[in-house]
Amino acid sequence: MKPPNGKRVAVVGSGPAGLTVAGDLAKEGFQVTIFEALHQPGGVLVYGIPEFRLPKDIVAAEIDYLRRLGVVVETNFVVGKTADVDELLDLEGFDAVFVGSGAGLPSFLGVPNENAVGVYSANEYLTRANLMKAYRPGSDTPIIRAAVAVTVGGGNVAMDSARTALRLGAGRSIIVYRRSEAEMPARAAEIHHARDEGIEFHLLCNPVEILVDEKGRVRGIRCIRMALGEPDSSGRRRPVPTPGSEFDLECEIVIVAIGNQPNPLVPRSTRTSTSRRAAPSW
């Protein structure tokens, strides 16, 4: 480690980006404080990626290593609520702020009944299962145990969600994805593991409606079959609905894993545009 240089840096978020920046800066002689909104550091490493794919002892060891480098970790500190970026710079005396607040804003399908009881974003579902330990009896954040769970999406998060549903007792865990397997963004290994564990794949299908019972609870999902057309902006062939091909899948929960947007809290709460601030001379 280089000797201290007298500069203080605030790191917003203790996910992969924040932890990496904190470690690199600490070794360069900076005094680093990480501000984490949740009660446990690690970001998506602890609330998103399941234990069976990333043991949490590994994450804890990495964070302990940063603490030994002198990094301070403040939990239960919501930048944008507890204090904003301007206050960290102007009142708390930090010389710079690194914002690594993650992609915490889930995308949804925009279909009827998406607010029904039993519809989860993958963020919520995985956070309850991983960080909040919702599988424990008497949990403060219980999670619906489903005989049949449907996960919408084809990325790594979708695979994590579908495999977690199995571990929470689902007899059937189904992935619905609007393209073919060749276009799936998930790693090939994750798709392989999901198939190995018995996850069912309904490919070239897209939800058009969440089906609910008289109490507003999920009882199924209505999908339409898709065909692949010309490539879109992502370079993948665009899925096109096939008229009259709708079909229903019975299920008790639907997990929406179709991507996330950057967390909007920090930019919304910052009074002075960070782009107008002078970059640190160092």
pTM beyond 0.95? no
Residues 6+ apart with CB under 8 A from 150: 174, 175, 176, 221, 249, 251, 253, 254, 255
Parallel, antiparallel, or unpaired: how do β-strands 200-203 and 218-231 relate? unpaired
Task: Go through the domains of the chain in sequence order and give each one's CATH number.
Answer: 8-102+262-276 (3.50.50.60), 105-261 (3.50.50.60)
Does residue 276 have a pLDDT over 50? Answer: no
How confident is the model over 94-113, as pLDDT tens digits? 999 999 999 989 999 999 99
Region 189-214 average pLDDT = 98
pLDDT level of residue 236 (50, 70, 90 thresholds): confident
Region 35-54 average pLDDT = 95
pLDDT level of residue 273 (50, 70, 90 thresholds): low
Q: Is 86 helix (H, G, I), strand (E, B) or coil?
A: helix
